[in-house]
Amino acid sequence: MSDQGDPLEFGLIANISGSRAHYEQLAQFHWEYYSELAFQRNQIYDRLKSSLRERAMSFEFSKWQRAVKYKYSLEPLSTKGSVSDPGGRFNIGAIDTARYSLFPALYLASDKGTCLAELLGREGAENSLTAEELALTKPDSVAVVSVSGKLESVLDVRELSNLAGFVSLVKDFRLSKSLISKTRKLGLRPLRLVRTTGGLSNELRRPNWRVSPMLFDVPSPSQIFGRIVLDAGVEGILYTSVLTQKSCLALYPQNLQNSSSYIELDDPAPPGGVRARIDATSFVNFV
């Protein structure tokens, strides 16, 4: 999706009606853009899933970090917060439930600084502050827990070779002449589809991935990719934080149903029945 900025920020009150009309045109355009590519994906969906499934591998991690807003502090492994609009980088939230099925994900980071930056530091560094330092300036109440686990099936998108099979299937996608014409009429940048593994990696790491779901009610490319990974039965996506360049994991607990995989809190939980482990028998409590 092209990031054209907020279509409502045109400055003059007299232009509000025109801005609204332009926004509606943009929203319709983005829906048509999404629909054209969705149709082509659906034609080869099983092959797309297979291309990802065959590149998945086992992954074991120790003392990674999980941060949640204070209201979720008694359920630190819950994924409920991830389905709030617009969702997360690799999961679709309540954008438009009539059009897109929402699905949750559990987000972890390899260190506490990255964990906090991902939760609180989304605006990026200012005044020479790092993403971690910026996160620490936020007054929000959060809870951070240490988590370890062992997974049977994780897709590591940090390695471009793991994306090659997927890209070989989508690189020949095309857009209609009608949509290309609308691009010009709306004054948008030319649309560029994924043709290389580097191009797909850039889409998955896009800093402003929220633009599409929040402004135009369509999932971002990374959210669409996450849906395919989920449907492939892969348990998670290993990726690099765009804020700190450290490793992160998006986990799909629902895919632990038929595996020996698990994740669990490292430290004793406070009294009161805090659920401390996700595995094949308990995943339903977390989604």
Q: What is the CA radius of gyration of the chain?
A: 20
1, 210 in Cβ contact below 8 A? no
Q: What is the pTM of this model?
A: 0.89
Give the model's confidence band at 19: pLDDT under 50 very low, under 70 low, under 90 confident, else very high. Answer: confident
Model confidence at 21: pLDDT above 90:
no
What pLDDT score was predicted for residue 129? 60
Least confident segment among 17-21, 95-99, 257-261 = 17-21
Task: For residue range 57-70, list pLDDT tens digits in order.
Answer: 999 999 999 999 88
Task: For residue range 68-90, list pLDDT tens digits in order.
Answer: 988 888 899 999 989 998 999 99
**CA 33 and chain centroid, separation:** 19
What pLDDT score was predicted for residue 130? 65
Task: For residue range 246-260, list pLDDT tens digits in order.
Answer: 999 999 999 999 999
Model confidence at 45: pLDDT above 70:
yes
155, 230 in Cβ contact below 8 A? no
Amino acid making up residue 118? E
Distance CA 53, CA 47 (A): 10
What pLDDT score was predicted for residue 133? 63
Distance CA 132, CA 64 (A): 16
What pLDDT score was predicted for residue 120? 85
Rounded (10°) CA dihedral 171, 175, 180, 183: -80
Q: Which two tokens stand for residue 233?
A: 């039965």
**DSSP-assigned letters across all residues of 180-198:** HHHHHHTTPPPP----SHH
Report, as an integer, the average pLDDT of 175-181. 95
Report, as an integer, the average pLDDT of 165-171. 98
What pLDDT score was predicted for residue 131? 63
Which residue has tokens 């827990």?
A: 145
Report, as an integer, the average pLDDT of 201-212. 95
Q: Which two tokens stand for residue 266?
A: 């490292």
What pLDDT score was predicted for residue 132? 63
Task: For residue range 113-167, list pLDDT tens digits in order.
Answer: 999 999 887 654 455 566 666 666 676 788 999 999 999 999 999 999 999 999 9
Distance CA 281, CA 221 (A): 32
Half-sphere exposure of 122 (CA within 13 A, CB side): 8
What pLDDT score was predicted for residue 72? 86
Give the model's confidence band at 3: pLDDT under 50 very low, under 70 low, under 90 confident, else very high. Answer: very low
What pLDDT score was predicted for residue 172? 96
Distance CA 199, CA 193 (A): 8
Of the ranges 34-48, 109-123, 259-273, the best mean pLDDT one = 34-48
Q: Which DSSP state fits 254?
A: G
Burial 243-257 (b: 16+ CB within 10 A, else e): bbebbbbbbbbbbbe
110, 64 in Cβ contact below 8 A? yes
